[in-house]
Amino acid sequence: MNEQIIQKYVNLTSQKIYDSFYLETQLEEANKRIAEDEKEIERLKNILDKNEISYEEEKELGDETRDE
């Protein structure tokens, strides 16, 4: 009986460890994607700035039209 309890505990612990490593890996991948997306946003903002296109005003206008 004690061996069954110990085996169940070992199995649960192993699963928790696996889940922790899996979630850590997923978090690292998500952080990499976020960093890449932020770089792309900055690149696009720079293109807009070089072409003297204001992206802030358009955002504000979009907010105002939603309120109406």
Q: Is residue 3 part of a domain?
A: no
What does residue 52 show for φ and ψ, rounded to 5 degrees? 55, 45
Q: What is the mean pLDDT of residues 12-39?
A: 98
**In this predicted structure, what is the pLDDT of residue 61?**
55
> What are the angstrom distances between the C-alpha of 53 and each of 25, 39, 56?
39, 19, 9
Residues spanned by the domain of 60:
30-68
CA 10/CA 18 separation, integer angstroms: 12
- Residues present in the chain in total: 68
Residue pair 60/67 in contact (Cβ under 8 Å)? The answer is: no
Please tell me the total count of domains within the chain: 1
Residue 18 token pair: 């696996």
Rg of the chain (C-alpha set): 25
- Specify if 8 maps to a domain: no
Confidence of residue 21 (pLDDT cuts 50, 70, 90): very high
Is residue 13 situated within a structural domain? no
pLDDT at 56 (0 to 100): 76
pLDDT of residue 44: 94
- In this structure, is residue 17 part of a structural domain? no
In a domain, 68, yes or no: yes
